[in-house]
Structure 1
Amino acid sequence: MEEVLQEGKQFRLVDESELPEIIEFLGNYLPESLKFHQTLRTYLKDRVWEFHFYVTKTWPDQAVILHFPGMTKSPNGKLYESFSVFCPCEQLNNLELLTEEDILIDWSQPVYMNFTHVKIMNKLEDLYSNMGVMDKMYGDIYGLVDPDTRCEESATETVFAEDAEMLQLTPEHAQIIHDLYPANHMECVELFEKLIETLPCYGIFSSSGELAAWMVQSYYGAMCSMQTRPEYRRKGYGLILAKYLTNVVRERGYIPFVVIRPENDPSKGLYAKVGFKKYFETVRAILRPHEMSSDAQGGGTEED
């Protein structure tokens, strides 16, 4: 098992006792810190997986924080091969510390970055340009316009067509969800089992008991992996799930949000009906040294 390092050149491992104060600090930068802020809250409250967070040794004067997600299926399965980063957008020059970090991060190899604020990624791309190139995939963060307001419709009061019903998922459903998850090459089945055991994850089941549609709360606080089997579409199941899970997530103390691909107009329309708006653009990427080939697949872990 790979050793967890206590510190690197510019960053140090965060002790769990520090997390509430860091969450409070990140709360000053909402919504741009939303994904990182909710990742920390989920970790502290609902421990889905063993993550590792690092801050600069000069924190909070130079406010850069890293998250190394232990479940990500990076090509070599290394602990420090994949990460995400947050830095206040008015302090982007502090990201130079990240490119100087040669203990936690091996810049001579491809680095896989999870969805990160577009301004941070643009700055990193500038800083990385002398080392390599960045292959990017874009997403949009949509969040509930008023997180204190419940969605009007409650799925518990919904009369489903054809005697369908909504139930909390169980770990036995993890395999089918993983099989149909668009980014399943970057996630393991065990992650979905942990999500289902720990967080609100709901499915709509047909009268015959077949899982027709589903949606889960993820380890980073968002609502994700909404899927409806083709034969069960156009029944309104997606909207029902989105409204219900939005209420559950909000009542559990989280800010409801999703990551949507820019070209996914159906999802944008669905979440507009729930009361979401676009907060900011986000990017996941592979950073490849100039001397490395470019035939690997995209990095990151999440997508709607």
Structure 2
Amino acid sequence: MKILSTDELQQAERILQSHLPKSSKIYGLIFGVNRNKPHFLEFVVDSWPDFTTIICRPNPESEHSLDYTKKVSVFSTDEKILKRMLAEDNAIDWSTYFFVGGFDIRHATMLKEISSSKGVPVREFTLVHLMTLQDPSLLPELTVNSDAVTRISSLNESHIDLVNKTWKFGGDEKGYKNIKKLVSHFPTCCITDEKGQPVSWVLVYDYCALGLLYTLPEHRGKGYAKILISTIARRLHAQGYPVYCFIEEENELSYRLFKNLGFTEDPTYRAAWFEFNH
């Protein structure tokens, strides 16, 4: 195994770009790191530069990594090598709580077998669609003078508490810290009310996927989500970001929304989130 240096991450980004969309999560993380977004991560590969497997994990040398939920991401084109790295090479620390997000379910059986052999409890808690916008021209044109469009803005630190309280995975101190990092360093988009307070918003995760899309209940049914996604997707594309999202399989409303806005998925690919030592 090899831990990639700053210069090597630039090359890894180019290599992973050729494997999109299946490499989206690792690619998005490296995309952010290469543009000086704050992180507490390190990336390990099986070999260099011709790697088959890359794993993103918390950097044990970072004093701040404990402030956030321990997250691991993986991309591999060779399950045997991935299995060796996970089972024998200590590519991840199996002794503590962590979760693996956006994990290709083709490798799920192998992952569960390793977990079982190590006596580590595992829970698969969400299966997702990977939706990608290949052509931003498919996005609907917004009515420039419409009331909602004139109230498009960005989130700031005064809005973090509201976003954290409404996020299904938030509501605690770690959720607050995660959202603060996203609001401070990644693009956001919101629609405000007449007092300038956000009533609908969307953020970008540290792996550059769209997320935390939410509209306050009393403001739903007005097309705000469609406006926000179209606006931020155009901005991200113009800045060179990958434009994609993960949608939980049971969330049919969001799936139809993104599909109607021109997002597509690779029918051969599914991903899931797994939690260990929960």
Superposition TM-score, scaled by structure 1 size:
0.79
Pairing 1:173–2:159 present: yes
Query: What secondary structure sits across from 1:36 in the alignment?
Result: helix
Return the letter of the residue paired with 2:92.
I
Structure 1 counterpart of 2:168: 182
Unpaired stretches in structure 2, ≥5 consecutive residues? 60-64
Structure 2 counterpart of 1:83: 72
- Evaluate the alpha carbon distance shift between residue 158 and residue 115 of structure 1 in structure 2; reply closer, same or farther with a 3 A threshold: farther
Query: What secondary structure sits across from 2:213 in the alignment?
Result: strand
- Evaluate the alpha carbon distance shift between residue 131 and residue 87 of structure 1 in structure 2; reply closer, same or farther with a 3 A threshold: same
- Give the conservation status (yes or no) of the 8 Å contact 1:147–1:250: no
Q: What is the correspondence of 1:132-281 to structure 2 with a 5 Å cutoff? A: 132=119, 133-137=121-125, 138-144=127-133, 146-147=134-135, 149=137, 151-154=139-142, 157-160=144-147, 165-184=151-170, 187-279=174-266, 280-281=269-270
- Give the conservation status (yes or no) of the 8 Å contact 1:67–1:85: yes
Pairing 1:40–2:30 present: yes
Kindly provide the CA deviation profile for residues 120-169 of structure 1, in whole angstroms up to 9, marking residues without a partner as x: 3333223433224431021221111x2353623247x15026x9611111
Unpaired stretches in structure 1, ≥5 consecutive residues? 1-10, 71-75, 289-295, 297-304
- Give the conservation status (yes or no) of the 8 Å contact 1:46–1:199: no
Q: How far apart in 2 are the matches of 1:94 and 1:159?
A: 54
- Give the conservation status (yes or no) of the 8 Å contact 1:217–1:249: no
Please list every run of at least 4 consecutive aligned residues from structure 1 whose deviation after the TM superposition is greater than 4 angstroms: 78-81
Return the letter of the residue paired with 2:243.
P
Query: What secondary structure sits across from 1:258 in the alignment?
Result: strand
Query: What secondary structure sits across from 2:11 in the alignment?
Result: helix
Q: How far apart in 2 are the matches of 1:52 and 1:40?
A: 10
Give the stretch that moved more between structures: 37-46 or 231-240.
37-46
Percent identity between the aligned chains? 22
Q: How far apart in 1 are the matches of 2:238 and 2:131?
A: 18
- Give the conservation status (yes or no) of the 8 Å contact 1:68–1:79: no
Aligned length: 267
Structure 2 counterpart of 1:52: 42
- Give the conservation status (yes or no) of the 8 Å contact 2:25–2:73: no
Superposition TM-score, scaled by structure 2 size:
0.86
- Evaluate the alpha carbon distance shift between residue 151 and residue 35 of structure 1 in structure 2; reply closer, same or farther with a 3 A threshold: same
| Superposition CA RMSD, Å | 2.6
Q: How far apart in 2 are the matches of 1:100 and 1:79?
A: 26
Q: How far apart in 1 are the matches of 2:68 and 2:85?
A: 20
| Residue of 15, 23, 28 corresponding to 2:13 | 23
Q: How far apart in 1 are the matches of 2:35 and 2:206?
A: 10
Query: What secondary structure sits across from 1:53 in the alignment?
Result: strand
Pairing 1:117–2:104 present: yes
Structure 1 counterpart of 2:62: none
- Evaluate the alpha carbon distance shift between residue 241 and residue 81 of structure 1 in structure 2; reply closer, same or farther with a 3 A threshold: closer
